[in-house]
Amino acid sequence: MAFQPKKLDFTLSPYTGLTRETWIEAGEYLLTGIFQNIKSIDDPVIMPRKETHISYPREDSKIEQLKAELFEGLARSFFIAAPLIHINPELTIDGYNIRDYYKSQVLRACTPGDINSVGSYEELQRLTGNKHRSFQQTVETCALVICLQNCKEEIWDTYTKAEKDIIADFLTGYGHGNTVPQNWRLFNMLDLAFLYKEGYPIDQDIMRNHGQAILNYYVGDGWYRDGQSFDYYSCWAFNVYAPIWNQWYGYENEPYLASKFEENSNQLMETYADFFDRDGFTNMWGRSNIYRNAATSAFDGNCMLNNSVVNPGLARRISSGSLLQFLTREDFLYKGVPTLGFYGQFTPLVQGYSCAESPFWLGKAFLCLHLPENHPFWTATENNGSWENLGEKETKVTTLNGPALCFSNHGANGETILRTGKVVKNNGDVHGMWNYSKLSYNSKYPWESAPSLDVESQQYVLTDLGSKRYEKCNVTFWHGEKESVLYRRQFFNYDLFRECHWMQAINLADFVVPNGIVRIDKLRLFQAPISLTIGAYGFPDNGTEIIRLENGNAKAIILKGHDFNGKEKQLAMTIYDGWDEINFLPSTGTNPDSEKSIVAYAKLTREKKYGYEPYVLISQVITKESLEDFTKDEIFPIHSIEYTDKENCGGFGPIHITMKDKSKKVIEFEGMEGNLQL
């Protein structure tokens, strides 16, 4: 059953009605689903799962992975339970006193030889015979210490000295042990910080080494590079753990690092609210989408700083909106547990490092409950930030060159569209391309996986008609924004063993219109014959009306229907120059919102290897959250297209676009080569 909040206050929270009491209800709702699957107080948090082939443990899983699942279930569910235990130490769910359960299970997890032991760092080294690897358990130790702090009086302070020493010895191994050189360093830092503040010895050189590395992953505007990529780990890891570390250790012992972490979090707050849409929805983008609304935890992270700048009413409005985005869906839970999906179960996004308990990382969103009831996060009246002053036809565009993110807030439909760059994925890594290198990500149209070999939503697919080989764009270079046009370049099947001129590519240029994005892209090909397709967003098909329209040489397909929840949806895809045809493709099992879906797409064919043919591909995708017809000018917004070359192919020179609303855009690809960034 979907979450149905009971305690609502639309005076304090005019957008969502949610208050601190409602958040407590939501936490208890999730814990109820967990504990209905626990048969005894001695049983660990091992949950049922619907998907069993990609996620772990698998048939070939080793003992360290089985132990890792034990720890994920315990530590991540503790994210939800810890603040509730502090608020109500006698909280009882399904017959279990939640405080007593976690007190017992935490100690057992850290105790060598216990059947529920998750394995010490030293034990796992012995089991694997590898003294240089890191373990999933390191991730969960960080969750554990945060939760022990959030209910310190109720659990940690009630352990005996001998019991604390067992837990501290367990944490010492992971805190000082090997880790992954990315956001994982913060896990070690918080383990060590917890030990330090509780009076246990630590190696402060190791702490300082991790701290300087984290600081040097920073790229600006509040974002950190996590490995090669940029994604929500910058928000639910770097900008949550660093503020906690500041409080526990940094402000006192490493004031320079602490001041920079504070400055970086405050920079994130300058634009982060605009990353969400008018309803507070989180965009489906990047890896670990099963963590859902955990991305809102960055607001709580900023609240922990000595000099916080977060807008508390806006932070709560977004946090509550994103909470409702997921918890109010009937398909969100499987046997009481969040699915391995974005909404319902969605296998195409499942990654091998996840288990049934992994989605409880979304419990980070509940860390805001550690803030006292008189904190501004809970007492400020909800506001909707930029959306409150955004006109119906206005669009606010934010471009961040450091992390290569461009996000636009569309007043006409309330959606937020994200365009990304600096993407590098392995050739053939379809999951990586879905997560990172789609042309755009829409907060109301989560990304669709492949409906066919030669059509993808919001991706170009190139087919070599000679070899019948399909190529997709696995690398996206960032050029940046110029005169309201965003420039990027994508390569098909990019690798390091060929010079870039021996790889097919496409230069991207796009700009916003009130309901979406217009694309003026240019082919950068050296081989033929080929065919090329581009898909619109995946459209949920729960009974869809399909309309075809033409206007001069422009053609359009309009899709009208409803999403899983019955909300009205409408999408229009329009093609202009360069394309041969527009069509649509029904699909099953490729859309996160609905079992059936439709992808509108455009297609072209090129036969000549060196023919001087149209290079420029012009298309548009617009959407709205109603069935009210788009106007003709919205579907066909371009008044004129002027090329420099007399053949009107766009092979060289500026392209002048005049829109029917009298606005003008100049597209110029020459010069991109001098500033392409990864």
Q: What is the pLDDT of residues 596-652, one digit of tens each?
A: 999 999 999 999 999 999 999 999 999 999 999 999 999 999 999 999 999 999 999
Question: Measured at the alpha carbon of residue 378, what is the angle toward residues 374 and 380, in degrees to the nearest 5?
Answer: 100
Q: Is the pLDDT of residue 62 over 90?
A: no
With beta carbons less than 8 A apart as the criterion, state whether 270 and 308 touch.
no
Q: Given this model, what pLDDT does residue 449 score?
A: 97
**DSSP type of residue 235:** I
Region 353-363: mean pLDDT is: 97
Q: Is the pLDDT of residue 559 over 90?
A: yes
Q: Given this model, what pLDDT does residue 58 score?
A: 87
pLDDT digits (tens, 9 = 90+) for 234-286: 999 999 999 999 999 999 999 999 999 999 999 999 999 999 999 999 999 99
Buried b / exposed e over 533-566, threshold 16 CB at 10 Å, is bbbbbbbbbbebeeeeeeeeebbbbbbbbbbbee
Q: What residue type is assigned to position 326 of the chain?
A: F
Task: Reply yes or no: is the peptide bond before residue 586 cis, omega within 30 of 0.
Answer: no
With beta carbons less than 8 A apart as the criterion, state whether 302 and 242 touch.
no
Domain 31-388: which CATH number of 3.40.50, 4.10.860, 1.50.10, 2.60.120? 1.50.10
Q: Is the pLDDT of residue 516 over 90?
A: yes
pLDDT digits (tens, 9 = 90+) for 475-493: 999 999 999 999 999 999 9
With beta carbons less than 8 A apart as the criterion, state whether 186 and 238 touch.
yes
Question: Measured at the alpha carbon of residue 322, what is the angle toward residues 341 and 285, in degrees to the nearest 5?
Answer: 50
Region 328-337: mean pLDDT is: 97
Q: Given this model, what pLDDT does residue 563 score?
A: 98
Q: Is the pLDDT of residue 389 over 90?
A: yes
Q: Is the pLDDT of residue 227 over 90?
A: no
**DSSP type of residue 603:** E
Q: Is the pLDDT of residue 494 over 90?
A: yes
Please list, in sequence order, all residues whose beta carbon lies within 8 angstroms of the beta carbon of residue 639, skipping any fewer than 6 positions away.
658, 659, 660
Strand order in the sheet with 416-420: 395-400, 405-410, 416-420, 441-442
With beta carbons less than 8 A apart as the criterion, state whether 342 and 289 touch.
yes
Q: Which of 284, 394, 290 is nearest to 339 (CA)?
A: 290
Q: Which of 326, 327, 300, 304 is nearest to 315 (CA)?
A: 300
- Greatest alpha-carbon span in the chain: 85
| Pairing state between β 516-524 and 616-624 | antiparallel
Q: Is the pTM above the cut of 0.85?
A: yes
Least confident among 124-138, 310-324, 483-497: 124-138
Q: Which helix (H) or strand (E) holds 541?
A: none
Q: How far is CA 251 from the centre of its chain?
A: 30
Q: Given this model, what pLDDT does residue 24 score?
A: 98
Which pLDDT band, with edges at 50, 70 and 90, does 576 fall under?
very high
Q: Given this model, what pLDDT does residue 39 score?
A: 95
Q: What is the mean pLDDT of the chain?
A: 97
Q: Is the pLDDT of residue 131 over 90?
A: no
Region 524-532: mean pLDDT is: 96
Which pLDDT band, with edges at 50, 70 and 90, does 64 fall under?
confident
Q: Helices H, strands E: what count in the chain? A: 17, 27
pLDDT digits (tens, 9 = 90+) for 160-178: 999 999 999 999 999 999 9
With beta carbons less than 8 A apart as the criterion, state whether 107 and 163 touch.
yes
Q: Given this model, what pLDDT does residue 19 score?
A: 98
Please list, in sequence order, all residues whose beta carbon lies within 8 angstroms of the beta carbon of residue 669, skipping any fewer than 6 positions away.
487, 507, 509, 522
Share of the chain above pLDDT 90, in %: 97
Q: Is the pLDDT of residue 586 over 90?
A: yes
Region 282-294: mean pLDDT is: 98
- Domain boundaries for CATH 1.50.10 within the chain: 31-388
| Pairing state between β 655-659 and 554-562 | unpaired
Q: Which of 622, 474, 630, 635 is nearest to 539 (CA)?
A: 622
Which pLDDT band, with edges at 50, 70 and 90, does 89 fall under?
very high
| E-only strand ranges, 563-637 | 568-575, 581-588, 596-606, 616-624
Cα distance between residue 162 and residue 520, in whole Å: 67
Q: What residue type is assigned to position 546 of the chain?
A: I
With beta carbons less than 8 A apart as the criterion, state whether 199 and 149 touch.
no
**DSSP type of residue 165:** H
With beta carbons less than 8 A apart as the criterion, state whether 443 and 492 touch.
no
Q: Token match 């383990």: residue?
A: 191
Domain at 390-674: CATH architecture = Distorted Sandwich (2.70)
Cα distance between residue 60 and residue 489, in whole Å: 41
Q: How far is CA 282 from the centre of its chain?
A: 7
Which token pair is 23?
A: 């958040």
Q: Given this model, what pLDDT does residue 366 score?
A: 98
Which pLDDT band, with edges at 50, 70 and 90, does 348 fall under?
very high
Q: Is the pLDDT of residue 296 over 90?
A: yes
Region 60-64: mean pLDDT is: 85
Q: Is the pLDDT of residue 232 over 90?
A: yes
- Domain boundaries for CATH 2.70.98 within the chain: 390-674
Which token pair is 489?
A: 């370049």
Using DSSP, state whether 657 is helix, strand or coil: strand
Cα separations (Å) of 150 from 78, 146, 147, 408, 674?
10, 6, 5, 36, 51
Q: Given this model, what pLDDT does residue 571 score?
A: 98
Q: Given this model, what pLDDT does residue 489 score?
A: 98
Q: Given this model, what pLDDT does residue 206 score?
A: 98
Q: Token match 């190791």: residue?
A: 206
Q: Cα Rg for the chain, rounded, in angstroms?
A: 26
Region 191-203: mean pLDDT is: 98
Cα distance between residue 571 and residue 92, in whole Å: 47
With beta carbons less than 8 A apart as the criterion, state whether 17 and 9 touch.
yes
